[in-house]
């Protein structure tokens, strides 16, 4: 029997291990487009997970407020053991004693029990009805805060995703440059060995080649760092391999149909919606204080039964319980509260003014944000167009210099200079490409296009 249990345990453990291993392999082979990476982040990023929990908290709080308006029912059971039965003083003359004196007597039994049930129900309360509206507005506010967190996460993932693509493309180009320069180095060494070029020419190529290797190592580290950043923004384990299925379209048109002169729509921005919700909450608070002078009405009812025993036989069915029942209603009418509600109303009015000022300030800030994002986007377009032309010119210069050097009508320094200029043009191009991609993301964010 023991052997069978051990075998069963080992089989389960092996199955669990294989399941985890296959799941890890599935994760390792998973590739992500930008949209898929953003969707993954919305489900796994810590900030989004906490924002979703905040939504649930707000939802339960809303239900809690609603529950106040339902009947409130409570049950009770109380047992007392009078170690000393209470003593009362009554006039002694009741028992034939002298007038003006008192005789101690004990009333009641040693054991007493009371069981009851009570219920209450709000009939009218302005505080409750306004609190119910406020809780719904708070729930909307929580949903919008969650939406803002999701937008911020999508922006962060997009920027990190583009960074990985750009640095990977730059690294790929560096590998090509290294291969090209290695060929030049080999050719120069062969020419030097044949006495056709000087040692200094060989040294120049060697220095350029070594610098390129150092740059490659730096970019490799940057690629790893950008991948770590992307996985962090996605909520993925840093050690998990990741494959990006999107690629940079280097031939995409740089002038998409975008109207930079259009007036921004403020309501597209989640921040504007949050401010509007805040104003709505402030107005509900003001209304609550203004209606706070209205009366509140609540109904109640209770039923109880009491038992009195000399012996501890409270549940003896042959001995009776003495019932008591009551129904009633309570009317609370505020008369004077030292002007507390008045001053609270004044404070809330000032809060509303502050929120309105914040809304106007946000409108101005959004105008500036959109204008700056539009300018940066247009500048990035121009810079990318220029850098693309520069890289084509630098490639042409390098090709001509290399041909002239190979044919013996050029010198080594011209090739090295052209190679350095080409590498610089490539670096500038990919820097401009990254700036262009980020500028597009920022322009969409400023205009509220990211949902």
Q: What is the pLDDT of residues 15-70, one digit of tens each?
A: 444 444 444 444 455 889 999 999 999 999 999 999 999 999 999 999 999 999 99
Cα–Cα distances in angstroms (integers) from residue 411 to residues 187, 190, 226, 393, in the given order: 13, 15, 40, 20
- Backbone phi, psi, residue 212, to 5°: -70, -35
What mean pLDDT is predicted for residues 330-337? 91
User: What average pLDDT does the structure give for the chain?
Assistant: 86
What mean pLDDT is predicted for residues 227-243? 92
* 3-class DSSP state of 19: helix
**What are the tokens at 314?**
């409270």
Please tell me the distance from the alpha carbon of residue 246 to that of residue 196, in angstroms, as a whole number. 48
pLDDT-derived band at 311, boundaries 50, 70, 90: confident
Which of 23-32, 74-83, 169-178, 343-352 is predicted least confidently? 23-32
What pLDDT, on a 0 to 100 scale, did the predictor assign at position 255?
A: 57
pLDDT at 225 over 60: yes
Instruction: List the one residue out of 142, 137, 140, 77 whose CA is nearest residue 112.
Output: 77
**What are the tokens at 440?**
């597009």
**Quick one: angle between helices 126-193 and 34-44, nearest 10?**
130
pLDDT at 4 over 70: no
Please tell me the distance from the alpha carbon of residue 437 to that of residue 425, in angstroms, as a whole number. 18
- Backbone phi, psi, residue 324, to 5°: -140, 135
Please tell me the distance from the alpha carbon of residue 20 to that of residue 340, in angstroms, as a whole number. 63
**Quick one: angle between helices 126-193 and 199-234, nearest 10?**
160
Please tell me the distance from the alpha carbon of residue 76 to that of residue 117, in angstroms, as a whole number. 6
pTM above 0.95, yes or no: no
What pLDDT, on a 0 to 100 scale, did the predictor assign at position 191?
A: 74
Residue 314 CA, distance from chain mean position: 59
Please tell me the distance from the alpha carbon of residue 396 to that of residue 387, in angstroms, as a whole number. 14
**Quick one: angle between helices 46-68 and 34-44, nearest 10?**
50
**What are the tokens at 307?**
């038992």
**What are the tokens at 157?**
């993932």
pLDDT at 175 over 60: yes
Q: Any idea how long the chain is?
A: 451
Which of 285-294, 413-422, 439-448 is predicted least confidently? 413-422
pLDDT-derived band at 415, boundaries 50, 70, 90: confident
Please tell me the distance from the alpha carbon of residue 57 to that of residue 145, in angstroms, as a whole number. 13
pLDDT-derived band at 14, boundaries 50, 70, 90: very low
By the 8 A CB rule, do 122 and 69 touch? Answer: yes
Task: Give residue-wise pLDDT tens across range 250-291.
Answer: 776 665 556 666 788 999 999 999 999 999 999 999 999 999
pLDDT at 5 over 60: no
pLDDT at 436 over 50: yes
Place of tokens 């921040």: 271
* 3-class DSSP state of 123: strand
């Amino acid at each position: 029997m023991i052997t069978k249990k051990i075998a069963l345990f080992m089989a389960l453990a092996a199955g669990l291990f294989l399941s985890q291993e296959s799941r890890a392999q599935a994760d390792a082979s998973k590739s992500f487009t930008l949209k898929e990476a953003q969707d993954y982040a919305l489900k796994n990023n810590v900030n989004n997970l906490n924002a979703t929990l905040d939504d649930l908290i707000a939802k339960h709080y809303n239900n809690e407020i609603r529950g106040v308006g339902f009947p409130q029912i409570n049950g009770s059971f109380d047992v007392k053991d009078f170690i000393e039965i209470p003593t009362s003083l009554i006039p002694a003359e009741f028992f034939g004693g002298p007038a003006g004196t008192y005789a101690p007597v004990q009333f009641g039994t040693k054991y007493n029990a009371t069981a009851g049930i009570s219920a209450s129900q709000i009939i009218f309360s302005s505080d409750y009805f306004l609190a119910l509206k406020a809780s719904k507005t708070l729930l909307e506010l929580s949903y919008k805060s969650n939406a803002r967190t999701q937008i911020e996460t999508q922006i962060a993932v997009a920027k990190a995703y583009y960074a990985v693509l750009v640095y990977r493309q730059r690294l790929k180009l560096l590998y090509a440059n290294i291969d090209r320069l290695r060929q030049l180095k080999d050719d120069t060494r062969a020419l030097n060995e044949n006495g056709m070029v000087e040692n200094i020419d060989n040294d120049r190529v060697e220095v350029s080649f070594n610098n390129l290797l150092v740059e490659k190592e730096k970019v490799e580290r940057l690629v790893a760092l950008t991948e770590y950043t992307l996985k962090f923004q996605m909520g993925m384990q840093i050690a998990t391999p990741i494959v990006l299925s999107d690629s940079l379209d280097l031939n995409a048109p740089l002038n998409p149909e975008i109207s930079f002169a259009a007036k921004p729509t403020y309501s597209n921005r989640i921040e504007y919606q949050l401010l509007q919700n805040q104003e709505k909450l402030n107005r509900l608070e003001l209304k609550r204080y203004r209606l706070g002078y209205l009366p509140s009405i609540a109904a109640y009812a209770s039923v109880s039964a009491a038992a009195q025993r000399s012996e501890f036989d409270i549940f003896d069915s042959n001995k009776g319980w003495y019932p008591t029942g009551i129904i009633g209603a309570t009317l609370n009418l505020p008369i004077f509260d030292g002007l507390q509600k008045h001053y609270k109303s004044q404070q809330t009015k000032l809060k509303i003014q502050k929120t309105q000022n914040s809304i106007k300030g946000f409108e101005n800030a959004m105008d500036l944000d959109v204008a700056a994002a539009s300018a940066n986007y247009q500048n990035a377009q121009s810079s990318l167009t220029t850098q693309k032309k520069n890289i084509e010119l630098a490639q042409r210069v390098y090709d001509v210099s290399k041909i002239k050097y190979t044919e013996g009508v050029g010198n080594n320094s011209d090739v090295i200079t052209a190679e350095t200029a080409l590498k610089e043009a490539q670096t500038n191009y990919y820097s401009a490409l990254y700036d262009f991609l980020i500028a597009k993301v920022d322009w969409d964010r400023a205009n509220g296009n990211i949902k």
